[in-house]
């Protein structure tokens, strides 16, 4: 019998990852095609959707070649990718302007406009979220205000991965998890909110059909088959936004299992069995990629990104391992040195695009090793902010924390996180994150497993753990309390520095 394979596609900010998985969960091919990012003005962040498609179609062919299989052996395709990006198409399906990305910060005035039109409290009640600059809805209003000639031509609005779906299948579709990040979705009903759309004067006809993450949304078209090497008719499932797919990829699909992602951004992700909305909107409340489930999420914008900035700025060319080895000898708290990791603004717990980073407490006795450890600790404190919000929202039953992402490769950082969070961290056998989760969702849609829970049971197992050190837990507590005072103390100065 010819073996079957699943294809997971992750359209991230920095590149498109193509992942082929066999029925046992073995990854047989991984290909990444890079994307370029344009910053035409300060605080702006854009990409060419055509570049995404070029990366994906080239990457699929390379992945098939790497695995030594034909496109006809792929029985399902799952999609994931960067959330919140605005991709605009005209009536012919042509892209109208570069996509405005999740980390674009131009829409502060539009966020205020949304709160005024909908009502701040009502917006959170319906969508589960406050209006933040990264979300999709304020980007739509920005185009209406600043590019009216483009706005008049809009016929379709898609999220980044859903543009790839359109190019693969010809269908305008999305999934519940990614759609929730637009703040145009009724979170509880998992459908577009007519009330929000009316208030913002956005035509519902512009929006794609919403599916669950495991549902088939379309099939590979003849044209896409010719361009990619996949077989025409291969099903493409809903998939999910990157964090929801990442959670599937590490098995964080049941209440009580928390996913901690230490990537460029840092994410604390808690699955819930019903829509659970934090009243002040300080936590994101989204639909899960798992049908009938939701999740709460705290997001810090510069997690491992803070360490990369630090390394590239002060130790260019040095490996992360070499950089962090001396930091192992520095005691918890870095002898009174604190790092505030708001290098690109912040979302949780302070939705402030003008927030800035800082080292606080520097003295002549502090060395480079102190600074290195302080960066790791500052990110850990920032992630704890998300955990504290989840606990304060009433979800205090955390049975397990599963850590993943590039930063989690550092054993020192794992230990600091365990000590700061005062909880055990575990790792799993899957390391390909969101793309792997997308492939698993495709497997459910293709009938390989009856549901996501069954897929996770079969595909994912624990590989290691890091327990908190009681002495370090006690030492970190006063430092965390000082860290929490930094942003309120510095916010006014930071805002004045944004000339």
Spatial separation of the C-alpha atoms in residues 373 and 381, rounded to whole Å? 12
Going by C-beta distance under 8 Å and a sequence separation of 6 or more, which residues neighbour residue 309? Answer: 302, 343
Q: What is the largest CA-CA distance in the chain?
A: 69
Which three-class secondary structure string do you get for the chain?
CCCCEEEEEEECCCEEEEEEEECCCCEEEEEEEECCCECCCCCCCEECHHHHHHHHHHHHHHHHHHHCCCECCEEEEEEEECCCCEEEECCCCCECCCEECCCCCCCHHHHHHHHHHHCHHHHHHHHCCCCCCCCHHHHHHHHHHHCHHHHCCCCEEECHHHHHHHHHHCCCEEEHHHHHCCCCEECCCCEECHHHHHHHCCCHHHCCEEECCCCEEEECCHHHHHHHCECCCCEEECCEEHHHHHHHHHCCCCCCEEEEEECCCEEEEEEECCCCCCCCCCCEEEECCCCCCEEEEEEECCCHHHHHHHHHHHCCCCCHHHHHHHHHHCCCCCCCCEEECCECEECCCCCECCCCCEEECCCCCCCHHHHHHHHHHHHHHHHHHHHHHHHHCCCCCCCEEEEECHHHHCHHHHHHHHHHHCCCEEEECCCCHHHHHHHHHHHHHCCCCCCHHHHHHHHCCEEEEECCCHHHHHHHHHHHHHHHHHHHHHHHHHHHCCC
Q: Give yes or no: 10 in active site.
A: no
Spatial separation of the C-alpha atoms in residues 271 and 255, rounded to whole Å? 5
Distance of CA 302 to the CA centre of its chain: 12
Helix axes 368-392, 470-496, angle to 10 degrees: 90
Spatial separation of the C-alpha atoms in residues 491 and 261, rounded to whole Å? 26
Backbone angles phi, psi at 358, to 5 degrees: -165, 145
Distance of CA 416 to the CA centre of its chain: 23
Spatial separation of the C-alpha atoms in residues 421 and 242, rounded to whole Å? 24
Give the active site residue among 162, 175, 178, 242. 242
Spatial separation of the C-alpha atoms in residues 481 and 458, rounded to whole Å? 42
Catalytic site positions = 242
């Amino acid at each position: 019998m010819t073996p079957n394979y699943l294809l997971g596609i992750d359209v991230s900010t920095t590149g498109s990852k193509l992942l082929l998985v066999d029925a046992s969960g073995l990854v047989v091919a991984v290909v990444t095609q890079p994307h370029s990012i344009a910053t035409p003005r300060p605080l702006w962040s854009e990409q060419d959707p055509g570049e995404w498609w070029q990366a994906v179609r080239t990457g699929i062919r390379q992945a098939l070649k790497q695995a030594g299989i034909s496109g006809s052996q792929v029985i399902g395709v799952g999609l994931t990718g960067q959330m919140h990006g605005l991709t605009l198409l005209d009536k012919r399906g042509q892209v109208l302007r570069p996509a405005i990305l999740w980390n674009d910060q131009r829409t502060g005035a539009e966020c205020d406009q949304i709160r005024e039109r909908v009502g701040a409290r009502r917006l959170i009640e319906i969508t589960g979220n406050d209006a933040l600059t990264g979300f999709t809805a304020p980007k739509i209003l920005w185009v209406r205000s600043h590019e009216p000639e483009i706005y008049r031509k809009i016929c379709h609005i898609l999220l980044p991965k859903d543009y790839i779906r359109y190019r693969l299948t010809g269908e305008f579709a999305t999934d519940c998890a990614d759609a929730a990040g637009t703040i145009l979705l009724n979170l509880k009903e998992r459908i577009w909110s007519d009330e929000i759309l009316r208030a913002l004067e956005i035509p519902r006809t512009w929006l794609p059909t919403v599916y669950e993450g495991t549902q088939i949304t379309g099939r590979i078209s003849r044209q896409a088959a010719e361009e990619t090497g996949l077989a025409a008719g291969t099903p493409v499932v809903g998939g999910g936004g990157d964090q929801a797919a990442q959670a599937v990829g590490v098995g964080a699909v049941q209440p009580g299992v928390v996913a901690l992602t230490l990537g460029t951004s840092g994410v604390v992700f808690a699955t819930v069995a019903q829509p659970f909305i934090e009243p002040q909107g300080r936590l994101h409340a989204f639909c899960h990629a798992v049908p009938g489930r939701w999740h709460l999420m705290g997001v810090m914008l510069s997690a491992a990104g803070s360490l990369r900035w630090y390394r590239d700025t002060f130790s260019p060319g040095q490996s992360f391992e070499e950089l962090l080895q001396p930091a192992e000898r520095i005691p918890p708290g870095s002898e009174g040195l604190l790092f505030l990791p708001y290098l690109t603004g912040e979302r949780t717990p302070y939705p402030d695009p003008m927030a800035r980073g800082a080292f606080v407490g520097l003295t002549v006795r502090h060395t480079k090793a102190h600074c290195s450890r302080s960066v790791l600790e500052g990110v850990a404190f920032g992630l704890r902010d998300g955990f504290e919000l989840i606990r304060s929202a009433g979800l205090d039953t955390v049975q397990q924390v599963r850590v993943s992402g590039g930063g989690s490769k550092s054993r020192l950082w794992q230990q600091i996180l365990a000590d700061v969070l005062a909880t055990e961290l575990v790792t799993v056998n899957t390391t390909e994150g969101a793309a792997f989760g997308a492939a698993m969702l495709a497997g459910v849609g293709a009938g390989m497993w009856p549901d996501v829970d069954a897929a996770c049971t079969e595909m994912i197992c624990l590989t290691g753990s890091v327990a908190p050190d009681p002495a370090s837990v006690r030492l970190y507590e006063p430092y965390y309390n000082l860290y929490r005072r930094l942003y309120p103390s510095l916010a006014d100065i930071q805002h004045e520095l944004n000339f």
